[in-house]
Amino acid sequence: EAYILSGNTITKYGKVNDLLSSAKTGDRVVLKKNLTWEADIPYIGEGVTLVVPKGITLTASTLQNAGSLMTSNGSIEIQAGGTLTLPNDDKTDAGGDKDKTTDDWVGDDEKARMQLTEGIMTFSFGGGTQPTLTIDGNVTVPKGERAFLHVTLGPDGKTATGIATTLTTGSVLTVNGELVLATGETGKGAALTIEQGATATVDGTMTVGAAASLTTNNALTVNGTLTINGANTEGFPEGTITGTITLGADAKVTVAASRDKAAEIAKNIEPAAGYEMEKDDDGNWVVKKKETTPPSGGGSTGGGSTGGGTSSGTTYDNTVAAT
């Protein structure tokens, strides 16, 4: 069902339970078959990585099993073409029961919340503390799908916490659907850091929740909608943005009304060249093309002399085309 990869050497074949029990720091347990995570499967040990390669699916079908998986000390590496399926707290099943349905959180088809088309994603849990997600590749949130940067770590479904996510240099994030940097416990809000040399484009919607943070390194372009929520619950700090956000044509920005930091946030939002922002009646900042008025007058004539020499007058076309 799996094998252990130590460095570049396969050291052991066997069942996942046995391999996870014997794996040591630095080992990679590579799945050969689909795996449904059960509560009796040993934790992923500290420094151990469970690898989900192309064509393989790792599924946690209940909150209890997902909680068991996510309180491991190690990491999951999802490779392009691999799939991680988790309980979905955004829906209930067709019968309306409290049990959650499952969705492909990461996969390669259009129904996955995040399509990983190239590279890898590494999800580290840290024994139930704030998890981290490293994206080293090309990821798309498909149109019609909503991806949350938070997870429920406990089996009771009441200990959701934000994911600290890093988009590494050279990676690409494209949001055609909706990406939510959701509210978490104080100090545990979701965080997205876009490293220098990475690229992120939002053609759909991005929401920066209270307690969440966004570090752009000036590499985020929004062509769709950006929503920035302030603190609306006692104990939750303001969502914060560091770096410049570039807005394209038809972009729309909503900042929660009456937030003290609204003006500060606005300083970090810049329309693309040739565009400007204005506030509408609903308090949204919308982007529109700049209204460029050509200067009046048909031209100018001038002359002068220096050191006894003369120069003849020259006429210039003084019309500036609006672009």
For the chain, give the longest Cα–Cα distance.
Answer: 99
Model pTM score: 0.81
Tokens of 41: 């499967």
Q: What angle do CA 199, 202, 205 make, to 5 degrees?
A: 150
Q: What pLDDT score was predicted for residue 222?
A: 92
Output the DSSP codes for 133-188: EEEEEEEEE-TT-EEESEEE-STTS--EEE-EEEE-TT-EEEESSEEEE---STT-
- Please list, in sequence order, all residues whose beta carbon lies within 8 angstroms of the beta carbon of residue 209, skipping any fewer than 6 positions away: 180, 181, 182, 183, 189, 190, 229, 239
Q: What pLDDT score was predicted for residue 314?
A: 46
Helix (H) or strand (E) holding 66: helix 63-70
Tokens of 116: 């990983």
Q: What pLDDT score was predicted for residue 154?
A: 65
Cα-to-chain-centroid distance, residue 153: 19
Are 189 and 165 in contact, with CB atoms under 8 Å apart? Answer: no
In order along its 323 residues, the chain shows pLDDT tens digits of 899 999 889 999 999 999 999 999 999 999 999 999 998 899 899 999 999 999 999 999 887 888 888 888 999 999 999 999 988 765 443 444 445 578 899 998 888 999 999 999 999 987 767 789 999 999 999 999 999 888 776 666 666 788 899 999 999 999 999 999 876 555 567 899 999 999 999 999 998 877 788 899 989 999 998 887 754 444 455 667 888 888 887 888 877 644 455 666 666 777 777 777 777 777 667 777 777 766 665 544 444 333 333 334 444 444 444 43
Residue 171's nearest CA partner among 137, 195, 203, 201 is: 137
- Please list, in sequence order, all residues whose beta carbon lies within 8 angstroms of the beta carbon of residue 236, skipping any fewer than 6 positions away: 183, 186, 189, 210, 211
Tally Cβ neighbours within 10 Å of residue 304.
8
